[in-house]
A and B are shown apart, each in its own frame.
Chain A
Amino acid sequence: MAEIAEAEVKQKGGKKKPKKFPTNVDMTPMVDLMCILITFFMLTTAFNKPKIMEIRLPEKIKKNENVEPPKIAKSRTINVILGPDNKVFWYPGVADDPKNPPPLRVTDFSAEGIRQIMLERNRALFKKISAFNDDILTGKIEIPRDSVQSAISQLKRDDDTGPIVLIKAYKEAKYGNFVDIIDEMSICDIARYTFVDLSWLEEEMVEKALSAEQAAQGARN
């Protein structure tokens, strides 16, 4: 084999030496390529996987079934109504007297808004849960990691002083507000909350509050 190669070289004039290749290959283009690939994969990787928030709605009572909706204590009830433009209306108790509806108070989704109201009402449970979490962090209570959640939900179940929040949505509310308010519920560790339909009286109350606000704004301008 070697002889044949030599013969070929000689045929081409004899002066030419077989070219010497450097033993180390230039890696720069490969680095470039890898850079591009890494960037591509970094950008397409879904790093922040979407999260889920669980919500359970009360079972619908079918019309032909003779089941009464569960009664709840009036003193513990807080009604939260999602309004337009990220507004939140709320009132305690129940609106059952059309002639004398309870006054609606308006707030928003900021940290000083609905959260303070909820925290204030739910202070006992919130303290209990944060004390429990602190105890776990400092090692006062040693329980397996898996049962932390169930212990907290047990605390929530045993709570009988915190508010019962009824979330309602005015027709111009946004879906984002609905998620926000449920989020607030979990931030404030509210044990009992649910989503119910807006009654006609409440709708009227919201409309009245909205028009009053508009009038106030018009007067200011």
Chain B
Amino acid sequence: MPKIKLPAKSPRIDMTPMVDLFSVLLIFFVLTATVRPPEAAPVDVPFSVSEKHVPDANIMTVIVSKDDRIFFNVDNGPDTILQFRQHILDEMGQRYDIEFTPQELRRFADINCSFGVPIHEMKNYLTAKTMREREPYETGIPIDSLDNQLAMWILCSRLVNPAVQACIKGDYETKFPVVRKVLDILQDKNVNRFNLITSLEVIEVKEEKNE
């Protein structure tokens, strides 16, 4: 009987289908990824049951960090051509007699993350290249009644973009009086509707049947 010779199979597996699969996954993740914007201060937001998403555009966010510093962030508007951030900084510069060059304005629009810089430090902040270089200037936006720059930022943002909505993002441990002050400033500018930024937590409420 002649022996049936089995062809010697190489131990290698064909990786091509795996590559195909991975390509599909990779493309999916690249397309769905919304890159997390860098934060000037780490903030642990409280939980809530709300399921509403943060709108993508037309929001200004007041961030209150754990160490009571105030940060502000405003987006470029629904269309990147609008470049609201540039106009807002320009408006702020006019009110505080600071002339910002077009390069600086463009840089401000490009940074597009929250900032906690007093307006007089803004020029230094804008010349800093990396986040680490910027950090020393992030001392928080003044909210004293004498030098209320946060109120001015809010005013300018609303002037440039009337559709802007106010969001407040605070750390769980932030002391309430600071947040209260921010709320007061917003209310002074006739903003009575706020959005508190939270993250989702699911709670089920069961109604007791025995009555």
Contacts and interface: CB of A to CB of B under 8 A. Distances in A.
A46 B203 CA distance: 22
A30 B20 CA distance: 11
Contact of B50 (A42, A127, A186, A188): A186
Contacts, number: 167
Contact of B46 (A45, A172, A180): A180
Interface stretch (A9-17, A31-39, A71-79, A95-103): A31-39
A106 B192 CA distance: 30
9 contacts: A34-B19, A50-B169, A52-B54, A56-B192, A169-B176, A175-B178, A178-B179, A183-B48, A183-B198
A193 to B, nearest CB: 14
Interface string A89-128: 0000000000000000000000100010001000000110
Interface residues of A, number: 51
A111 B49 CA distance: 14
A173 B178 CA distance: 10
B176 A177 contact: yes
Contact of A175 (B14, B15, B26, B46): B46
A169 B180 contact: yes
Contact of B203 (A26, A57, A177, A187): A187
Interface stretch (B33-41, B86-94, B150-158): B33-41
A44 B33 contact: yes
A38 B197 contact: no
Interface string A129-169: 01000000000000000000000000000000000000001
Contacts of B174: 174-176
A50 to B, nearest CB: 5
B50 A51 contact: yes
